[in-house]
Chains A and B, each alone.
Chain A
Amino acid sequence: MSSKFISPVLCLLSVALSSGQEVDYKKQIAPILSSKCNSCHTAKKRETDKKPKAGLALDTPGGIRAGGVLEPGDASSSELYVRVSLPKTDDELMPPTDDGGPLSAKEIALIKKWIDDGARFSSGSGQGLGEIAADLDVAKVMAMPMREPNADGVAHLEGLGATVSQLAVNLPQQLAVEWISTYHKTTDKEIEQILHIAPNVVEVDLSRTKVTDEGLKHIGKLARLTHLNLSRTQITDKGVAHLSGLRYLEYLNLYGTGVSNDILPVLAKHRKLKAVYAWKTKITQEGLSKLRKALPDAKLVLETDAKSNRYDNLDNPDNKFDF
């Protein structure tokens, strides 16, 4: 649609750039966006307007990803590039001419090259590891208010196979950590590294990992945790005891673990709990009825649809499924 409008100057520039090294998002792209785009396209609440223009926030990688304006590897199909490279007379040009536009030829070329190279937000993972490895005492960091996540910590964790994602476009500081394709080789050692970003972690999915009771000590330090999935892991009552400090816990999935009724007094103290999953554990219906008194509004799931009486015969704890 737009390629025919691109001026020869631009083409020359992009050729010149393409022989150079990779464009760095943080150093080269983010500054362009922040000086030229973020006055309208921001996730931060502004006085005049609570939403970013067109629902597109360009001030965080999450916002840009969610915006659907990128086709990694193909600038000419990416709205982010197409809209800034239109001719001056085009109504669709961004930024608008009366609002600081258009971008300079060099800026446009940088954006093009960045997208054509795959639009990477971080340059390599596991970087800066030496710097942060020593800082595992989270007691101090936890006291701080929620702040920008430690980017090196995120990259480090991703290098170990974790997926770290923002909870929502408008909550870029709250992070969810999970091991999606790598659960089968994830142990306490990798899980401990989550402490590098401890102040920002609100959701953790450890299902099917090799986490042990010992590993839950680290999880117990994530004071802002609201969601914890431990399903189909080796953990037992001993491990759950380490979670007593998690005051904000709302969702706890224990399905397919070795826990028993003995943990219920611990769970009863988590007043914020909204959902506990205990299918295929040693927890019994009687145990749950007692917990019900402490948590009258929570969803406590042992087995669904007891009422229909159809789905009860599956409860066989010796039955190990291979997932």
Chain B
Amino acid sequence: MSDNSLFQKGDEVSRRQFMIGAAHSYLGVSVLPMLGATVGSSDLFAAAPPMRPRAAKSVIFLNMSGGMSHLDTFDPKPENQDVQGPTPVIDTTADNVQISGFLPKTAAVMKHITLFRGMRSNQGAHEQGQYLLHRSYAPRGTIVHPSLGAWIMRLSGRRNTTIPGFVSIGGSSENATGGFMGAKYGGVPLGNANSGLKDSKRAHSVSKEAFDRRLSLADKMNADFHGRFKQKQIKTYHGLYDEAIKLMTSEDLKAFDIKHEDNKVRDFYGNNSFGQGCLLARRLVEHQVRFVEVNLGGWDTHNDNFVAVEARCQILDQALAGLISDLERRGMLDSTLVALGTEFGRTPDINGNTGRDHFPRAFTTLMAGGGVKGGFVYGETDRKAHTVKEGIVTPGMFNATIGHALGLPTERVVTSPSGRPFTIGDEAKPVKEVFA
């Protein structure tokens, strides 16, 4: 209400963000923003114990951006050809659960998956829908809400304190924002899986000896200054150097490099950026990264829906089935929650361009591993997938359920700098029925 509410907007460009941006642009140093998540860390920023034992330790969030058609993927209606169109339907390894014939490999791992067929959103445009999906709140002019990964960092911290706890692969960097919680809870956006972590290694022209010499010289020059001005900002800045050096010399850096994987394993996930992103996500989770998001776009199928969705499904099918199987045979599936979300579904009625339009009233998302039931369906749409008959789940409930899988205190209130209360799921309760 007062004039200064604008100044309290949490995500304005801070001086540090400005410096990071400038450093990136002029010096080519991109390791700084990723350290946003690590600056000021101490033993306390390490993971807090979960609210219950044997909770999941990590989340891999697969973001289907553009609005994934529910009819042509996980909620087919074979008895109603007028809405189903030419998309085939197949049985799965779960009794009485059928999905789209475009997803044969996923059908084979359905026994690990819980479907949420009663998803409902109140946002029908992409940007707003993605915002709600990631943050549980609708966008408002006066505040930037933190994304789900930032909530997880805030409520429980990092398990591996050498590398970032929140990484977002592909997609919009908005998905990695710390919002009003600040950059330190935000994620590290990676453009694509193959490039690894940019500028995280010593430049070739600088030998190890020269590097160490420069550091010790810097220490000497700084010693007097640091002795005289014991301010927090100075300590923080120094901490940034320490963190960077710790990371540059760490064994964990290998986690970011999928070139260490055998070609057969790389093919197992599909040789495309989403598949390789999922492979990278598994590597990061092996190194105890808490939250990894991988983006697959191209679901906005207003035209030629059936051709376009089949092509998307080929990529999704290989990567999703590959990821779930790979986690399971490594003994990681019970401690890793795989969640797949999208901003909305698509109209059951097929439009004049053989396409489907935006449809937030009913759509499907899923979870696998992390303690959720396998071969389970929560919620149901009517016979034409037009509306949710039972088991409505909002994006806030979905996010609270992810929080619950990790054993986080989902009811915990975090107050924004402007003094307003927020929770991980906008006060929504987790859907506990989906847990085994």
Contacts and interface: CB of A to CB of B under 8 A. Distances in A.
A181 B250 contact: yes
Interface string A277-314: 10100000000000000000000011111011011011
B48 interface: yes
Nearest to A119: B44
A263 interface: no
A255 B332 CA distance: 11
Interface string B57-74: 000000000000000000
A261 to B, nearest CB: 18
Contacts of A122: 43
A74 interface: yes
B42 A73 contact: yes
A277 B330 contact: yes
A68 B414 contact: yes
B49 A65 contact: yes
Interface string B352-369: 000000000000000000
Contacts of B105: 308, 310
Contacts of B251: 181, 183-184
Interface stretch (B21-29, B157-165, B218-226, B375-383): B157-165
A67 interface: yes
Contact of B42 (A119, A277, A314): A119
A171 B156 contact: no
Given A121-B43, A167-B49, A255-B329, A305 B287 contact: no
A31 interface: no
Interface string B387-430: 00000000000000000000101011011010100000000000
B384 interface: no
B contact residues, range? 35 or more
Contacts of A314: 264-265, 268
A313 B325 CA distance: 13
Contacts of B50: 66, 168-169
Contacts of B415: 1, 79
Given A70-B44, A119-B44, A277 B51 contact: no
A153 interface: no
A163 B46 contact: yes
B154 interface: yes
A272 interface: no
B417 A231 contact: no
Nearest to A1: B419
Interface in A49-83: 55, 62, 65-68, 70, 72-74, 79
Interface string A66-105: 1110101110000100000000000000000000000000
Interface in B289-345: 321, 324-325, 328-331, 334
Contacts of A275: 331, 334
Contact of B44 (A55, A120, A321): A120
A74 B330 contact: no
A118 interface: yes
A303 B329 contact: yes
Interface in A158-194: 163, 165-172, 174, 180-181, 183-184
B212 interface: no
B16 interface: no
A38 interface: no
B412 A231 contact: no
Given A1-B419, A118-B44, A319-B262, A304 B329 contact: yes
Given A118-B42, A279-B330, A313 B109 contact: no
Nearest to A122: B43
B374 to A, nearest CB: 11
B47 interface: yes
B49 A166 contact: yes
Given A68-B412, A255-B329, A62 B40 contact: no
Contacts of B235: 73
B254 interface: yes
Contacts of A170: 51-52
B232 A73 contact: yes
A103 B249 CA distance: 45
B422 to A, nearest CB: 12
Given A68-B154, A307-B108, A279 B329 contact: yes
Please provide the 4 A-B residue pairs with the shortest distance between their CB atoms, ordered closest to farther.
Answer: A308-B108, A65-B48, A277-B331, A253-B331
Given A66-B49, A119-B44, A168-B52, 6 more contacts: A68-B412, A73-B40, A121-B43, A255-B330, A313-B264, A321-B261
Interface of A: 1, 55, 62, 65-68, 70, 72-74, 79, 116, 118-122, 163, 165-172, 174, 180-181, 183-184, 229, 231, 251, 253, 255, 275, 277, 279, 301-305, 307-308, 310-311, 313-314, 319, 321-323
20 contacts: A1-B417, A55-B51, A62-B48, A65-B157, A72-B41, A73-B236, A79-B415, A119-B44, A120-B42, A168-B55, A183-B251, A255-B330, A277-B330, A279-B330, A301-B328, A307-B93, A308-B108, A314-B268, A319-B264, A321-B265
